[in-house]
Amino acid sequence: MEQHRTRPPHDGTRRGTPPLPPQAARGGAAGGGARPAPHPAQKRPAPRPAGGRQPAASLAERARSMPNPRLTGLGGGLFCGAVMFVLGCLDDLLLGGSPTVYGVLFLPVCVLTAVWVRKGDLVTAPVVVPIAFAVGLLPVADSSGGVLGRLMGLVTALATQAGWLYGGTLIAGLIATVRKAALMRRQTVRRRSDPPR
């Protein structure tokens, strides 16, 4: 009786070669190899929050992202005077020298000067803003009659626009005072928290 030789089941391996890893044996990728990792550019985007809006930045983060220069006393005076002179020229060029518009523009410049001056020169903020107001008022004031007429126009403009001048100086003084008080409070807290030597 003739016996048929039984052949072992074919598992995809040849004699003398090691068996395939489990991923390839299950047919994970074409050619029996492992599936390549996806390209970084093909990664799925991160899910967006509900409603499709990105979370709004807080007010403190926005304040930190704003420019925060530190001006010396002289730098604060130059900044305030230059800005007010440019604003006075623009006011004279575009609006024919409106003192009210000039006074309104003076207030935010006072705020910026008092906020941007450095801690050691806080006293100078309420001193430089009235000088800058007078410097910027030169193009706005009435200039008929030569040098003497310009000087009289400047004095008249200072007298009639004294409310804006006092208001801006008061704002700069209040901001400088608040900053100085906060600085002194921080120094007191730091002194108390430091251990005695």
Q: Which of 1-5, 20-24, 92-96, 133-137 has the highest mean pLDDT?
A: 133-137
> Is there a domain that residue 148 lies in?
yes
Q: Is 70 in contact with 114 (CB distance < 8 Å)?
A: no
131 or 6: whose pLDDT is higher?
131
Residues 6+ apart with CB under 8 A from 49: 55
What counts of helices (H) and strands (E) characterise the chain?
7, 0
Domain of residue 73: give its range.
69-193
Q: 51-91: per-residue pLDDT in tens?
A: 445 544 565 566 566 566 788 889 999 999 999 999 999 99
Provide the number of structural domains found in the chain: 1
Report the share of the chain in percent with pLDDT over 70. 64
> Is there a domain that residue 56 lies in?
no
Q: 70-79: per-residue pLDDT in tens?
A: 888 899 999 9
Residues 6+ apart with CB under 8 A from 80: 109, 110, 113, 128, 129, 131, 132
Residues 6+ apart with CB under 8 A from 53: none
> Is there a domain that residue 168 lies in?
yes
pLDDT at 69: 73
> Is there a domain that residue 101 lies in?
yes
pLDDT-derived band at 109, boundaries 50, 70, 90:
very high
Residue 117's SS3 state is strand
